[in-house]
Amino acid sequence: MKKLFIQEVAPRDGFQNEARFIDTEDKIAFVDQLSLCGYAKIEVTSFTSPRAIPALKDAEAVMHRLHRNPDVVYTVLVPNMRGAERAMSCGVDEINLVMSVSETHNLSNLRMSRERSFEQLAAVIEEVRNTDTAINVSLSTVFGCPMQGDIEQSDVLGWIDRFAQLGVNGVTLCDTTGMAYPTQVGSLFSTVIERFSGLQITAHFHNTRGMALANTVTALQAGVERFDSSLGGLGGCPYAPGASGNVTTEDLVHMLELMGYDTGVDLAAILAISRTLAPLIGHDVNSQTLAAGTRMSLHPVPEYVQQLQHSQ
Amino acid sequence: MKKLFIQEVAPRDGFQNEARFIDTEDKIAFVDQLSLCGYAKIEVTSFTSPRAIPALKDAEAVMHRLHRNPDVVYTVLVPNMRGAERAMSCGVDEINLVMSVSETHNLSNLRMSRERSFEQLAAVIEEVRNTDTAINVSLSTVFGCPMQGDIEQSDVLGWIDRFAQLGVNGVTLCDTTGMAYPTQVGSLFSTVIERFSGLQITAHFHNTRGMALANTVTALQAGVERFDSSLGGLGGCPYAPGASGNVTTEDLVHMLELMGYDTGVDLAAILAISRTLAPLIGHDVNSQTLAAGTRMSLHPVPEYVQQLQHSQ
């Protein structure tokens, strides 16, 4: 059985998108539960300005007080040097830097050019590189920009290369608004994995147009071993308020385990946690496996069928 | 561009599952609209007992009064000889027979053993074989039975073989309750297409556990060219009332066209029709592409981004 690495983003990418503030104690309890489920990595929070993202204003408290499992990499989103300093003071295992490969999306999301973002992130990488803290870079809109449209594969490769040269440990290719499609995914990841064999490459899919698991299939075929996902599908898409966001962890793990992969994740355990999310966040989660049950959650044989069986 | 065949099942599989009776005029108008969208086949109705399925009690009226497009194959579900006679009297292009490869599911759904079903269907095939009407057989629960669990691939192959020997034109492998997963789908369809090269083989997926498009990817890789789907995802799963049912046509076509296939289907036209379904059936449809827009439905660049662009 081939081993895969499942990286849970709900505590950061999910809670950040919730209208209701999730209490610090609830966040810690949630991450502590996740820590026992076999994830390779958990994105705990974001060291962003509390004014910009009040939902995660308790980043230090959550990071300091959670009960770490030594088998889990605890990563946090870091937008800039100030965020990196705050994260390092909490002893995170990894910082996750972010910029967009689309100029328009970077201007829209980070309010600066890609070159300016790269300069700032390069300075952070320079500071962190020689510490015990690992560095991942998440590249947004790799499979398409919701304002600009298609992104050239050569542009994506160019940005990965620039970060690889700075010595980062991993790069995540993010389908930020669900524009990826299976053949595109297979082609890009095949090229990236061949060209950047020294980097940990993660696929981060959104299910906005229903293709997240289809994209997962071709990513697997291209050799991807690391997948971001969000319990209950938490974390929406700002460009399509009614649409799905992050691929749902339990749906992803359910499929991968059926396909014979070893995800390490305890599906029954995460389904039990997912079931507690609706009351916590105040609305239904987006989980097909929770709604329908796992494939082998069989239904009882009705009595009239039993009678027919006996009368044969 | 490889040509695929998209077969719309909403008028039968969808409307059959609606609590609200869809007026005959509305059914006819719906099928007439679908007839102009480039589908290879449309499953119009079911010639079942009106007492068993009152939702489709107007089968003759719908079939007689629709405006046929000569490029579309109009097929109907037929459970038995009486249904076949009614269908033939309406001049259908194809009859679609159905039985389950799971004994328990066949007893549950058709209230008879598989052997008894086969005998009845064989008698229908004997009657219809030498007419202009084509014959398809839909095999239910091919990828798993919700009561019995796994189904042996050899059992599926055995049932296909028995129908192939009777001279049917096509066989549809149905994932009746969404138990199929990508590796299983690839393996089964590869074997079936190799072994039964004279049959038209259709994949009929449900999205109950989110895997319909992922299964489509491996079905394509195995050589499948024909796909059933339902506009707006109409048609639920009786075993999981809250869960998704049939794969949604617009989500399927959207993905296939992005992957470079020629589906023949006019995506904009079917999205426009899908948008009219909610008022007709009285509840929301299950359509990611309708909710989020197609991949290249781009969003305007916000004013502050335009200002940043100009100030660079």
Check if A288 contacts B (Cβ < 8 Å).
yes
Query: What pLDDT shows up at residue A244?
Result: 80
Band (pLDDT 50/70/90 cuts) for residue A14 is: very high
Q: Is B237 a catalytic residue?
A: yes
Percent of chain B with pLDDT over 90: 94
| B295 touching A (Cβ < 8 Å) | yes
Burial A283-307 (b: 16+ CB within 10 A, else e): eebbbbbbbbbbbeebbebeeebee
Query: Quick one: B259 exposed, middle or buried, by C-beta within 10 A (0-12, 13-18, 19+)?
Result: buried
Asked if A117 has any chain B CB less than 8 Å from its own CB, the reply is: no
Name the residue among B259, B293, B305 with its Cβ closest to that of A108. B305
Residue ranges of B 171-190 with Cβ closer than 8 A to chain A: 178-179, 181-184
Interchain pair A243, B113: CB under 8 A = no
Per-residue pLDDT reduced to its tens digit, A154-195 = 999 999 999 999 999 999 999 999 999 999 999 999 999 999
Contact B291 A242 (CB under 8 A): yes
Going by pLDDT thresholds of 50, 70 and 90, the confidence category of residue B244 is confident
- Mean pLDDT estimate for chain A: 96
Contact criterion met (CB below 8 Å) for A261 and A2: yes
- Residue B26's pLDDT band (cuts 50, 70, 90): very high
Of B184, B243, B304, the CB nearest to A292: B243
Confidence of residue B311 (pLDDT cuts 50, 70, 90): confident
Query: What confidence tens digit (pLDDT) does each residue in B252-296 have?
Result: 999 999 999 999 999 999 999 999 999 999 999 999 999 999 999
Using a CB-CB cut-off of 8 Å, the residues of chain B touching A299 are: 146-147, 239
With an 8 Å Cβ cutoff, is A254 touching chain B? yes
Alpha-carbon distance B146 to A300, whole Å? 9
Task: Look at residue A64 and tell me whether its pLDDT is greater than 90.
Answer: yes
- Active-site residue set of A: 237
Place B63 in a pLDDT band, splitting at 50, 70 and 90: very high
- Percentage of chain A beyond pLDDT 70 is 98
Let me know if A266 is exposed, middle or buried by CB neighbors in 10 A (0-12, 13-18, 19+).
middle
Mean of the pLDDT values across residues B90-110? 97
Q: What is the dotted CATH code of the domain comprising B5-311?
A: 3.20.20.70
Domain range annotation of chain B = 5-311
pLDDT of residue B1: 87
Q: Would you state the pLDDT for residue A263? A: 98
Q: Report the residue of chain A nearest B254, measured CA to CA.
A: A209
B89: closest CA of chain A, how far (Å): 34
Interface mutation target, options B215, B305, B311, chain A, most CBs of A under 10 Å: B305
Q: Could you report the per-residue pLDDT of A243-279, keeping only the tens digit for each? A: 789 999 999 999 999 999 999 999 999 999 999 999 9
Measured from the Cβ of residue B180, the count of other Cβ atoms closer than 10 Å reads: 30
